[in-house]
Structure 1
Amino acid sequence: MNAISRRGVLALPFFGVSPFRAAPLALDTPAKKELALQLVSSAENSTLDWRSQYPYIEDIHDGRGYTAGIIGFCSGTGDMLKLVELYTRRRPGNVLARHLPTLRAVSGGASHRGLDPFFVRDWRVAARDAVFRRAQEDERDRVCFTPAVRRGRADGLRALGQFAYFDAYVMHGESGFDAVREQARRRARTPARGGTETAYLTAFLDARVAAMRREPAHRDTSRVDTAQRLFLRAGNLDLTPPLEWKVYGDPYRIDRG
């Protein structure tokens, strides 16, 4: 999966955190989830309107083939394949089903040979189908959002920390997230293990930036530095609006959520 970033924050400071406060402030409440999806969309698609991104598709030349949809499903990483398989189970004979053999062949590399010249057109056609749009949302939740929130809660993190986990899942996938989290845990204890939330999140974001800089396509770390770090420095561990941030220099604001 891939991403682009844009965010910063103004909020009331809060210092110190008890892991027992994580559940009522979880990211999977409807308002917080919507906020999280807007934040990710500012990075992935340069807009807060994440629902406008179902038809998005292009090769951004990051070594992952085509990047598409609401969180940047990639033909080269296998998550696009899983999405189209899910769609085909729900809508047999859909316009993307014929591309499944080629998606299997290109998974694991940058090439989209065999998908051209019709796959881009067919993706955009499929995006008109409510079944495909729902499949994108369900796959996003299954592979990124739900595990990020679950693991954030287990580590004693509130909404900001759970969002930092979600954004890392979107860009790096599960294995990449695991590597970032493990590096962070070597430097700081999670709140669930008696550490402070601010110290642990600082370590996590440091590890995240280091991982991004190892990939040429992700060396712009503004989705962390002028968004998530901004919220952390403000002490806004609950991601309480109004939120202001920048990604790639572009400003964003959410007034309520």
Structure 2
Amino acid sequence: MRHPFPDPARPAGPSRRTVIAMACASLATVPLLTPSRAAAASARATGLDDPAKKEIAMQLVSSAENSSLDWKAQYRYIEDIGDGRGYTAGIIGFCSGTGDMLDLVELYAERSPGNVLAPYLPALRRVDGSDSHDGLDPGFPDDWRRAADGDPEFRRAQDDERDRVYFDPAVRRGKDDGLRTLGQFAYYDAMVMHGEGGDLGFGSIRERALGRARPPARGGDEVAYLHAFLDERVWAMRQEEAHSDTSRVDTAQRVFLNEGNLDLEPPLDWHVYGDAYHIG
């Protein structure tokens, strides 16, 4: 994960579109929803944790992190991108220098003792907080790919750590602030890049946004608040050279916001780093 030093994120924690309405002849056999049930169904549909919306979130993040909508191909991804965080790997950019890769491999070792990555745990503990590869080279990248390709348990561990550390806390905070799906995604994407803590982390970005606008849960306007949040996110990104390209906000999230698409309903069209993407 792309966390600014010295405070890596450690929060505690754990298709598209509905089908067209049925033909009139079949409607008589379908029980009508009561108003309360209809409202409940609508509320469920607006959350990023709805499976179809979560899939969209994964694709949006993958377009920014890996220049591809095929996020499931990223379980095996690993490289040092030169941002001072050591190896970046997996579906959400777990980093050897920020602690979340260590947490992931520890979880994997608990579930699958003796796995191919377990011998690297001492080295991962040593390099935490640095960009060092000491004890990881030359075999770690190949063994990471071997685990991702051959062991479903490693892929499940990546999913679970993503949800525990980033996705679930972001969605929970977004719902607490009264935000709909786009706002919840804005929180999630910020946590993915910045982590929770530190002056450039999600918590500080949110606090600065709250100083400029109120979220819906505090009686404010959702669009105005999200513009404030994205403004503060862009500022935080520009403080680090590795994050100075802000297109994942400017030509993606801001586009959806300006379109009034607060529920992230497809079709979605956006650009990241100049590349065009579409979800139909």
Equivalence map 1:18-167=2 (5 Å) = 23-128=44-149, 129-167=151-189
Given the two structures, how large is their TM-score scaled by the length of structure 2? 0.83
**1:160 corresponds to which letter in structure 2?**
L
Equivalence map 1:205-224=2 (5 Å) = 205-224=230-249
SS state of the match for residue 195, structure 2?
helix
Whether 2:274 is the aligned partner of 1:249: answer: yes
SS state of the match for residue 188, structure 1?
coil
**1:196 corresponds to which letter in structure 2?**
D
Q: How many pairs are equivalent? A: 238
For 2:245 and 2:58, locate their aligned partners in 1 and report how far apart those are by CA, in whole Å.
Answer: 20
| Cα pair 1:22 1:153 within 8 Å, conserved | no
Provide, for residues 160-218 of structure 1, a one-character-per-residue CA deviation record: whole Å limited to 9, x for no partner: 00000010010011211101111111111111001100010000000000000001100
Select the residue among 200, 207, 220 that pairs with 1:182.
Answer: 207
SS state of the match for residue 144, structure 1?
helix
Deviation at 1:23, TM superposition (A): 4.7
**1:236 corresponds to which letter in structure 2?**
N
SS state of the match for residue 80, structure 1?
helix
**Equivalent residue number for residue 204 of structure 1:** 229
For 2:82 and 2:266, locate their aligned partners in 1 and report how far apart those are by CA, in whole Å.
Answer: 35
SS state of the match for residue 127, structure 1?
helix
**Equivalent residue number for residue 233 of structure 1:** 258
SS state of the match for residue 76, structure 2?
coil
SS state of the match for residue 253, structure 1?
strand
Segments of structure 2 that go 5 or more residues without pairing to the other structure are: 4-41
Deviation at 1:2, TM superposition (A): 3.2
Bigger Cα Rg: 2
For 2:72 and 2:92, locate their aligned partners in 1 and report how far apart those are by CA, in whole Å.
Answer: 11
For 2:61 and 2:75, locate their aligned partners in 1 and report how far apart those are by CA, in whole Å.
Answer: 14
| Cα pair 1:23 1:153 within 8 Å, conserved | no
SS state of the match for residue 266, structure 2?
coil
Deviation at 1:240, TM superposition (A): 0.7
| Cα pair 2:2 2:195 within 8 Å, conserved | no
SS state of the match for residue 246, structure 1?
strand
Change (3 A) 1:192 1:205: same
Provide, for residues 114-147 of structure 1, a one-character-per-residue CA deviation record: whole Å limited to 9, x for no partner: 2111111110111121000010011001111100
Deviation at 1:86, TM superposition (A): 0.4
Q: Give aligned-pair identity as a percent.
A: 72
| Cα pair 1:149 1:165 within 8 Å, conserved | yes
For 2:61 and 2:2, locate their aligned partners in 1 and report how far apart those are by CA, in whole Å.
Answer: 10
Whether 2:196 is the aligned partner of 1:194: answer: no
Segments of structure 1 that go 5 or more residues without pairing to the other structure are: 4-20
Deviation at 1:24, TM superposition (A): 3.8
Task: Give the RMSD, CA atoms, in angstroms.
Answer: 1.1
**1:214 corresponds to which letter in structure 2?**
Q
